[in-house]
Structure 1
Amino acid sequence: MNGQKEEKLKFLLARIPPGFLVDSAWMTKHGISRSSTHDYLRRHWLEPLSRGVYRRPLSLTGHPDAARDWTIPVLSAQQIMGYDLHVGGLTALALGGHVHYLPLGSRETVYLYSERPPSWLTKLPLTARLFIRNTRLFNDASLGVDNTDVNLSADSNLALSPWQWPLKASSAERAILEALDELPDNESFHTLDTIFESLANLRPRRLTALLKSCRKVQVKRLFFVFADKHAHAWRKHIHPSEVDLGSGDRAFYKGGKLHPIYRITVPPEFLPQLPEAADGP
């Protein structure tokens, strides 16, 4: 191996932790030729994962499912290759401890948000189903997207690697609005109702900013339907008059009832509870 190839190999090994991925676009950007890539594959410094996608090998003895976990490919796309991509919706809420179950017999569903995601990501043989969504729900595409403080080293798959990076994900305030946007076709009212019950510590200022930035009237109206139903302490600091809720009735849920305040059809159990009539004399 000549000196230039050796330097490129040192660069590659310094930038890619064991188990993490790069694609051919990243290799080209950093001046790693196709012939060098073939040499790295032949010498087992890299292994092919999909067309144009390579992984630095990692011993998976005793952890056969680690190679099919979604977290390391997403971290690779975010932190190594620089794709503008974040985890959101129910997946971000699950990372924050607000989703506690997976339907029996179901594969994990992972919601990712990006305008230009890597085309190979959804083609990887992973244990989860990856759903890619655009970021156009909000006028400000980055509002409420944070580096998580989730302890990723506690994940048995990531614990195989000594490298730990923050996962770029929606805050709970943004994630709940992203999740509401999946109603009713991809998520259920029951699931969102259970999650709302756990959202006692949302930040009113951030919620208000996100509601003002949200482009979908039905998402904003649904938010207030759930928020009123659960009446967490933060609800009294969120004022519908500051948010554009549009005009007119919205026939959103087939077979539902029109909410008398927010004028959107929802399952009957989400209508306000009328006070019980006092007993007569």
Structure 2
Amino acid sequence: MHYPVHIGGATALGLQGYAHYLSLGDKSTVWLYGAKIPNWLEKLPLNADLRTRNVSLFSDPELGVDDARRNPDETASTLPWDWKLVMSSPERAVFEALDELPDQESFHTLDMTFESLTTLRPRTLSALLSSCKKIKVKRLFFVFADRHDHAWRKRLDPKDFDLGSGDRALVKGGKIHPRYRIMVPDEFARKERGHGA
């Protein structure tokens, strides 16, 4: 129907094989992102809980969206009627999922997801970090990236990106991360080996 909508966040990560846990229960959650999502979409009787978000997280709303409509040769999920499923790349999807902390996503689930993100592309991550408008998301990205210290982390220098100034409160009863100055659960504020130390 030509609406500029894509699947993102935890849904895109799961569809691309990065989900650590299977969802239990009758309904799964599907995260949809777009500038103009029709109001009737959330009212459809579906066996999934649709959560919609705008694309304002990035200054370039198309960055990191693997759009098979523009790149027909790309390998994307193909639906039975030959429409391509438009979704966030794993790099973009992780930023979208981090934006949902702590209300819609859990630190533990994202920690387990980050553990499997060994093949992210540093250039794409760098472009997304530069385009990301939320200090909270960029700081959280580095908290998790330092914690897991994958090979791509060595190619990203936090000093190259605007991480803002001052402390940021995120969770009640947490601790301020010693390097990235954002309040996170205690286990995420401990000094880690690698880049976060």
Normalising by the residue count of structure 2, what TM-score does the alignment of the two structures yield?
0.90
Corresponding residue SS for 2:39 = coil
Mapped pair 1:112 → 2:21:
no
**Alignment equivalent of 1:235, drawn from 153, 156, 178:** 153
2:60 corresponds to: 140
Partner of 1:70: none
Going from structure 1 to structure 2, the CA distance change for 1:146 and 1:255 (only over 3 Å counts) comes to same
Structure 2 counterpart of 1:23: none
Once the two structures are superposed, what CA deviation does each residue of 1:216-256 show, in whole Å capped at 9, x if it has no partner? Answer: 00000000000000000000001101110000001111110
Of structures 1 and 2, the one with the larger relative CO (CA 8 A, separation 6+) is 2
Task: Tell me what 1:209 maps to.
Answer: 127
- In 1, the alpha carbon distance for the partners of 2:20 and 2:147 equals 21
* Structure 2 segments unaligned to the other structure (5+ residues): 69-74
Alignment of 1:38-57 (within 5 A): none
Q: Counterpart in 2 of 1:244?
A: 162
Question: Structure 1 residue 137: deviation in Å?
Answer: 0.4
Higher helix share: 1
> Is the Cα contact below 8 Å between 1:229 and 1:272 reproduced in 2?
no
Alignment-mate amino acid for residue 106 of structure 2: S
Would the aligned equivalents of 1:102 and 1:108 in 2 still touch at CA under 8 Å? no
Matches within 5 A, 1:9-28: none
Aligned residue pair count: 187
Assess, with a 3 A threshold, how the Cα gap between structure 1 residues 121 and 202 changes in structure 2: closer, same or farther: same
Q: How large is the Cα RMSD of the aligned pairs?
A: 1.5
Task: State the percentage of identical aligned residues.
Answer: 61
Q: Report 1:154-165 matches (<5 A).
A: 161=80, 163-165=81-83
Alignment of 1:19-98 (within 5 A): 81-98=1-18
Give the TM-score, by structure 1 length: 0.64
8 A contact 2:177–2:183 mirrored in 1: yes
1:120 CA drift (Å): 1.5
SS in 1 for 2:17: coil
Q: Is the 8 A contact 1:93 1:172 kept in 2?
A: yes
**Deviation readout 1:97-148 (Å, 9 max, x if unpaired):** 0014334326200000012112221111100000010000000000000136
Cα displacement string for residues 26-69 of structure 1 (whole angstroms, at most 9, x for unaligned residues): xxxxxxxxxxxxxxxxxxxxxxxxxxxxxxxxxxxxxxxxxxxx
**Letter aligned with residue 188 of structure 2:** F
Q: Which has the larger radius of gyration?
A: 1
Name 2:139's counterpart in structure 1: 221
1:150 Cα deviation from its structure 2 partner: 4.0
